[in-house]
Structure 1
Amino acid sequence: MSSSSHTVIETSALSGGPGAQPLIHNLTHSWTAGVHAICGDEGTGKTTLLRLLAGDLAPMAGSVTVPTGGVFWMDLKGPEHDPTTVEACWADLRKHWPDWDEALLQDLAETLDMDKHRHKRLEMLSTGSRRKVMLIAALASGAAVTLLDQPFVSLDRISIRTILDFLAEAAEHTSRAWIVADYEVPTDVPLASVLNL
């Protein structure tokens, strides 16, 4: 577990969900700098909680206190993103994140074998490559809080190892937080906390 105690994002009596019954109910929790896991079975509210933290979903009750450095959340699965090219997606995000790390994006694009796909539309990409577009943007964003929803699904072993190595280094960060939602705790990553839903 990380030794950092600097709170980066927190919830107070948070309840919410996409339906009439909240999947997240009365959650008061704080996340410090470092890497955190949110775990649970299908339908327990992992994605819902990330959307609430990002402001993508309005809470039914309670509140989320977010840092000045912003919360990065992105979902590229919808068809509305299909006509967008990889490069255009990154270029649009680059404008919104003042601490965007272009060198990191270039490094990740090369390591994750995405350079050759930069001018392709998202609809032309495999599920794994489409996920890589989101992951590269998330890690390069420079946001105070980066939310990753099942980041390893549909990825090859080399790509999974690259993301795990990044998170292992991120675990030592003193002012930023990465929150990974998945069925199981990510391996080989020193975690600041685990929240089971």
Structure 2
Amino acid sequence: MTGLRADRVVRRIGDKVVVDGVTLSLSPGETVGLLGPNGSGKSTLLRLLAGVLAPSAGAVTLDGRTLTEVGRRATARRIASVEQHADTRTELTVRDIVALGRIPHRRAWTPPTAADAEAVTEALRRTGLTDRAGQSWHTLSGGERQRTQIARALAQEPRELLLDEPTNHLDIQHQLDLLDLVASLPVTTVIALHDLNLASMYCDRLLVLRDGRAVTEGTPAEVLTPALIEQVYGVGAEVTHDPGHPVIRFLRPAAGDGSPPKRSVTSAASTAP
């Protein structure tokens, strides 16, 4: 068995089950989207896949071995993750932050190599941060901080990339630019998203969670149906099929006067080509 896999993983916090028996197998190079409302277990599942959290039951394996057997350093060379929020009180530049991605590739107390410097420079270029390399982290906008964290992950040169709501704080152009970049990378990607249209456009496969459990899994065309959206999110929607992916148009609730629901496109990305 090759690649990253979660096999019936469970994560408990006290008496609460946050992730409940979820299985996910990843094919090399594919982009898998995690969908579900707040509190559905997306972030916790990503942290289990990254080895940041240990499952209460079940197992996360890499090439058939549990992450414990693989070891932290070897896991960090293979798997990079970008969480929703990151901050530091230390005065660091953008390049300093991105260079943190090279730590798994170096022995303790050894200086950076030419390969490290090249990986950092390339990550900055790919994320459009070359001109920000010397700028302080604390002066960046929310979107620039997010791109810096993604550049750090790219500098790690992973084979598996885990992203938790990476389009938060980004305007529409940068959302599309970022997901274009992610989709072009020669890595296996798991990405948690709230925007169903972005998930439809950029993901090969979707896993939908609710209350910590897997509701359904499949291609965007198979998964993103009006019935599924109503069941999981509690909202009405119309789904049409543009070439290549479904387009979701959400329906505003009825006004209470007997009039039908009003149509409203809630995601600007749904109008993108």
CA offsets 1:129-188 (integer angstroms, 9 cap, x no match): 111111222234321210011111111333222222223334xx4xx3111101234243
For 1:120, the equivalent position in structure 2 comes to 135
Equivalent residues of 1:31, 1:177 under 8 A apart: yes
For 1:85, the equivalent position in structure 2 comes to 93
Find the partner of 2:181 among 159, 163, 166: 166
Equivalent residues of 2:165, 2:192 under 8 A apart: yes
Secondary structure in 2 matching 1:152: coil
List aligned pairs for 1:22-37, cutoff 5 A: 22-33=17-28, 34-37=30-33
Find the partner of 2:46 among 40, 43, 50: 50
Determine whether 1:189 maps to 2:195. no
Tell me by how many angstroms 1:92 deviates. 2.3
Calculate the TM-score normalised by the size of structure 1.
0.79
Secondary structure in 1 matching 2:17: coil
Select the structure with the greater relative contact order (CA < 8 A; seq sep ≥ 6). 1
Q: Max radius of gyration: which structure?
A: 2
Tell me by how many angstroms 1:93 deviates. 1.5
Give aligned-pair identity as a percent: 25
Give the gaps of 5 or more residues in structure 1: 1-5
For 1:180, the equivalent position in structure 2 comes to 191
For 1:3, the equivalent position in structure 2 comes to none
Equivalent residues of 1:15, 1:27 under 8 A apart: yes
The number of aligned residues is 184
Find the partner of 1:107 among 125, 141, 155: 125
Tell me by how many angstroms 1:73 deviates. 1.4
Query: Match of 1:150, as an amino acid?
Result: E
Equivalent residues of 1:14, 1:27 under 8 A apart: yes
Q: In angstroms, what is the RMSD of aligned CA positions?
A: 2.7
Tell me by how many angstroms 1:118 deviates. 2.2
Calculate the TM-score normalised by the size of structure 2.
0.59
The 1:160/1:104 distance shift into structure 2, 3 A limit, reads farther
Query: Match of 1:183, as an amino acid?
Result: H
Query: Match of 1:94, as an amino acid?
Result: R
Partners of 2:37 and 2:84 lie apart in 1 by: 22
For 2:81, the equivalent position in structure 1 comes to 73
Tell me by how many angstroms 1:81 deviates. 5.3
For 1:62, the equivalent position in structure 2 comes to 58
Secondary structure in 2 matching 1:139: helix
